[in-house]
Structure 1
Amino acid sequence: MTEGPEPTSRLLGRAQGLYTISSQGNDLERLSQGIVLNFVFQSGEFNGSTLAVVATQISPYFTEMPIVGGTGKFRLPRGYVLSHVLPNSTNDHYNVTVLHY
Structure 2
Amino acid sequence: MAKPLPLLLLFLLFLTITTTTTSSSSSSSSEKLKRMKKKKITHFTVYWHDIMSGPNPSGAMVAQAPTTKTSTTGFGLVRIIDNPLTKGPTMSSDLVGRAQGFYASTSMEYVGLMMAMNFAFTSGKYNGSTVTILGRNEVFTEVREMPVIGGSGLFRWAQGYAQARTSMLNMTTGDAVVKYDVHVMHY
TM-score computed with the length of structure 1 as normaliser: 0.81
What CA distance in whole angstroms lies between the structure 1 residues aligned with 2:107 and 2:186?
36
What CA distance in whole angstroms lies between the structure 1 residues aligned with 2:147 and 2:107?
23
Shift of 1:22: 2.3
What CA deviation, in whole Å up to 9, does each residue of 1:17-60 have, x standing for no partner?
11111234xxx34x532110110000111111100011012343
Partner of 2:181: 95
Partner of 1:55: 135
Q: Which amino acid aligns with 1:10?
A: D
The structure, 1 or 2, with the larger RCO (C-alpha pairs under 8 Å, 6+ apart) is 2
Identity %: 37
More helix by share: 2
Larger of the two Rg values belongs to structure:
2
What CA distance in whole angstroms lies between the structure 1 residues aligned with 2:95 and 2:177?
15
Shift of 1:87: 4.1
Partner of 1:9: 93
Q: Is the 8 A contact 2:89 2:177 kept in 1?
A: no
Three-state SS of the structure 2 residue aligned to 1:9 is coil
More strand by share: 1
Name the count of aligned residue pairs. 97
TM-score computed with the length of structure 2 as normaliser: 0.47
When structure 1 is superposed on structure 2, of 88-97 and 34-43 the one drifting more is 88-97
Give the ranges of 4+ consecutive aligned residues of structure 1 lying more than 6 Å apart after TM superposition.
Answer: none
List alignment gaps of at least 5 residues for structure 2: 1-84, 171-175
Partner of 2:114: 34
When structure 1 is superposed on structure 2, of 11-20 and 87-96 the one drifting more is 87-96
List alignment gaps of at least 5 residues for structure 1: none
Q: Which amino acid aligns with 1:23?
A: S
